[in-house]
Amino acid sequence: MATVPRGGSWLFEDSRSCAVFSPERLSDEHRLMAKTADEFVTGEVMPALDRLESKDWALCRALVKRCGELGLLGVAAPEEYGGLDLDKAASLVVVERIARSASFGTTFGGQVNLCILPLVLFGTAEQKTRYLPGLIAGDIIGAYALSETGSGSDALAAKTRAAKQDDGSWVLNGEKMWISNGGFADLFIVFAKADGDQFTAFLVERSSPGVSSGKEEHKLGLHGSSTTPVFFQDVRVPVGNVLGDVGRGHKVALNTLNYGRFGLGAMCAGGARAVLGEAARYAAGRRQFGQPIAAFGAIKHKLGEMTARLYAVESLCYRTAGLIDAALAQSPRDGLSVAKAYEEMAIESSICKVTGSEMLDFVIDENVQIHGGNGFVRDYPAERYYRDARVNRIFEGTNEINRLLITGMLVKRGLKGHLPLVAAAKRLQDEILAMPPGDRGSDTGPLAAEWRTVAAFKQVGLMVLGTALQTYGDTIETHQEVLSFAADILIDTYACESATARATAALAAGGPLASLHEGAARISVHDAAARVEFAAKTALAAMAAGDTLRTLLAALRRVLKPVPVDTVTLRRTLADAVTARGRYILE
């Protein structure tokens, strides 16, 4: 029996042995799902954007219902409740497409990732039978009510209370904030402190007396998605509507987000793909100084960089889908086992969220710049994309919190002995210092220099984390700056390894796009090397001084020796390809 993939284990493994899932390996069934979602968004959502932005929630409901008819809401849900029970790659291709409209994507994400998913994972048979068919058909709209005015990142500090009644039912009192689908949802997953301090999830129907929504928030973006406070005043919740166990609401909340973050990363990749296409078409059509602006090196640089960054994020999201599917294939199919598989991949899911949202922000910003003045006015979609994307760095756990989770989970698994973190880090420094100064390794083959650099990133990541453990011991959690720099190194490592593995496979398969894959991977690794070096030096200098620091920096110089690459030409090649085709070319 194959071993269950362990989250974070890639940091300790030999890179070249990693076979990653990628868009090139999608099946016909996946492509069909993608086509269905694509046609739905093009034909039904994009023409409705203005009406959605004027808060036509009846139309929004109708679009959710259409998603249900097309099978898009139940891609990952069990067949017995009307779902399709497909793999994570199928979910990924659907959310990527839906994300072309960020507002509707948020409505969709609220329904699928934040309501259907926790019910599938933690619901009783009775709860699933009662709610899932309606949610999957799009007849019932769902929402996830965790945040409150005083508890966003610190979500478990919620003040909403649930008091147990003599007949076993509960009475809820409290106020939730920023709830997606809050204005028109029929069913809320509400988190409250039950009987004192027991954090618990409840299924609450809007029709229950005492449930009401506040006014729509005036947001920077996502105007076509409902975000409201939701009030619960003496709301009676039947005994059968506790989701999961009393006092175990954190499991429901956190495991929902573990998966949701992977979905959000994929949505960001899908959004960036749409934006890059817009940028390329605009650059090809807009003429200045007698030629299309796409002919200028400064614009080529932008289009090439946007493509390379998207490639890396797309590569790591697909790889994560493959890892989650592999973990699920090894686990029983009951909800709690599935939740455990998601938990196992929580590090990778957080990486998808952080790197996806930051890549998208880069891409939408450059898109505005490529549009010049037209990027700043409402006549072009660039402005809407710009406003819509910003929240991705805030919701589903801010990027600061997710960076801390990435390193926090790795350290915890290392200390528990589930990952060989401490031993590897201790061994490493001696090994590096024993290396002959000029040693660059002798392996050849496709992307040999990039593979070496990725291996070096892993050593650097271990060195920084190992030094942090030795230096700070039990107080490591309070050294957030160092942990965040370490997270940046891990993020670049996972992204570059995913991109290099995908490009190596593309080169082996041949074909007209192979050299573009190679170029995108080489740019990613080359640029990451400078970031990794900066992050490592800053972190090490915070932890050590004098001879110790000099020794650590000598070790860093020995291991991290990136080869100079002409990324200017590589970016131009990518830019010319996207401009010629008017869209992202590597999907």
Q: Which stretch binds ligand FAD (CB under 6 A): 133-141, 241-249, 390-398, 565-573?
A: 390-398
CA 253 from chain centre, in angstroms, equals: 17
Query: Is 482 a residue that touches ligand FAD (CB under 6 A)?
Result: no
Give the C-alpha separation, 424 to 467, whole Å.
Answer: 11
Contacting residue, 45, 222, 243, 267, with ligand FAD by CB under 6 A: 222
Cβ proximity to ligand FAD: between 108 and 395 the closer is 395
Contacting residue, 40, 122, 131, 178, with ligand FAD by CB under 6 A: 178
Q: Which stretch binds ligand FAD (CB under 6 A): 176-184, 300-308, 435-443, 575-583?
A: 176-184
Give the dihedral of Cα atoms 54, 57, 58, 62; nearest 10 deg. 110
Give the C-alpha separation, 354 to 316, whole Å.
Answer: 12
Q: Which stretch binds ligand FAD (CB under 6 A): 34-42, 300-308, 395-403, 465-473?
A: 395-403
Give the C-alpha separation, 533 to 539, whole Å.
Answer: 10
Q: Which stretch binds ligand FAD (CB under 6 A): 73-81, 126-134, 327-335, 388-396?
A: 388-396
In the residue annotation, 69 being an active-site residue is answered as: no
Within the chain, what is the greatest distance between any pair of CA atoms? 80
What pairs with residue 236 in β-bridges?
171
Residue 141 structure tokens: 């709209």
Q: Minimum Å distance from CB 223 to ligand FAD?
A: 10
Query: Is 26 a residue that touches ligand FAD (CB under 6 A)?
Result: no
Binding mask 93-132 for ligand FAD (x = CB under 6 A): -----------------x----------------------
Query: Is 400 a residue that touches ligand FAD (CB under 6 A)?
Result: yes
Cβ proximity to ligand FAD: between 147 and 349 the closer is 147
Q: Minimum Å distance from CB 395 to ligand FAD?
A: 4
Contacting residue, 111, 160, 180, 500, with ligand FAD by CB under 6 A: 180
**In the complex, which residue's CB is closest to ligand FAD?**
152
Total site size for ligand FAD, rule CB under 6 A: 20
Q: Minimum Å distance from CB 359 to ligand FAD?
A: 19
Query: Is 395 a residue that touches ligand FAD (CB under 6 A)?
Result: yes
Query: Is 485 a residue that touches ligand FAD (CB under 6 A)?
Result: no
Query: Is 53 a residue that touches ligand FAD (CB under 6 A)?
Result: no
Contacting residue, 394, 507, 549, 563, with ligand FAD by CB under 6 A: 394
Q: Minimum Å distance from CB 46 to ligand FAD?
A: 21
Cβ proximity to ligand FAD: between 393 and 522 the closer is 393
CB 24 within 8 A of CB 505: yes
Residue 228 structure tokens: 């409201």
Q: Minimum Å distance from CB 191 to ligand FAD?
A: 8
Q: Minimum Å distance from CB 480 to ligand FAD?
A: 6
Query: Is 179 a residue that touches ligand FAD (CB under 6 A)?
Result: yes
Query: Is 24 a residue that touches ligand FAD (CB under 6 A)?
Result: no
Residue 157 structure tokens: 């500090």
Contacting residue, 9, 36, 330, 398, with ligand FAD by CB under 6 A: 398
Of residues 145-164, those binding ligand FAD (CB under 6 A): 145-147, 152-153
Contacting residue, 401, 513, 514, 543, with ligand FAD by CB under 6 A: 401
Phi-psi region of 210 (alpha: psi -120 to 50; beta: other; left: phi over 0): left
The C-alpha angle 479, 482, 483, rounded to 5 degrees, equals 80
Give the C-alpha separation, 312 to 326, whole Å.
Answer: 21
DSSP 12-32: GS-GGG-----GGG--HHHHH
From the DSSP assignment, how many helices (H) and strands (E) are in the chain? 19, 10
DSSP 101-161: SHHHHHHHHHHIIIIIHHHHHH--HHHHHHHHHHHHHTSS-EEEE--BTTBSTTGGG---E
Task: Tell me phi and psi for residue 562, to 5 degrees.
Answer: -65, 145
Give the C-alpha separation, 533 to 553, whole Å.
Answer: 10
Give the C-alpha separation, 187 to 185, whole Å.
Answer: 6
Cβ proximity to ligand FAD: between 394 and 514 the closer is 394
Cβ proximity to ligand FAD: between 402 and 467 the closer is 402
Residue 565 structure tokens: 């690459």
Cβ proximity to ligand FAD: between 132 and 404 the closer is 404
Q: Minimum Å distance from CB 261 to ligand FAD?
A: 11
Q: Which stretch binds ligand FAD (CB under 6 A): 92-100, 174-182, 301-309, 358-366?
A: 174-182
Burial grade of 53 (CB within 10 A; 0-12, 13-18, 19 or more): middle
CB 112 within 8 A of CB 68: no
Query: Is 144 a residue that touches ligand FAD (CB under 6 A)?
Result: yes
DSSP state of 247: T
Give the C-alpha separation, 345 to 133, whole Å.
Answer: 28
Cβ proximity to ligand FAD: between 261 and 302 the closer is 261
CB 245 within 8 A of CB 335: no
The alpha-carbon radius of gyration of the chain (Å, integer) is: 24
From the list 348, 383, 396, 533, the catalytic residue is 396
Give the C-alpha separation, 352 to 77, whole Å.
Answer: 22
In the numeric block, the tokens 């037209």 are attached to 374
Which residues are catalytic, by number?
396
Query: Which residues form the interface with ligand FAD (CB under 6 A)?
Result: 110, 144-147, 152-153, 178-180, 219, 222, 227, 391, 394-395, 398, 400-401, 480
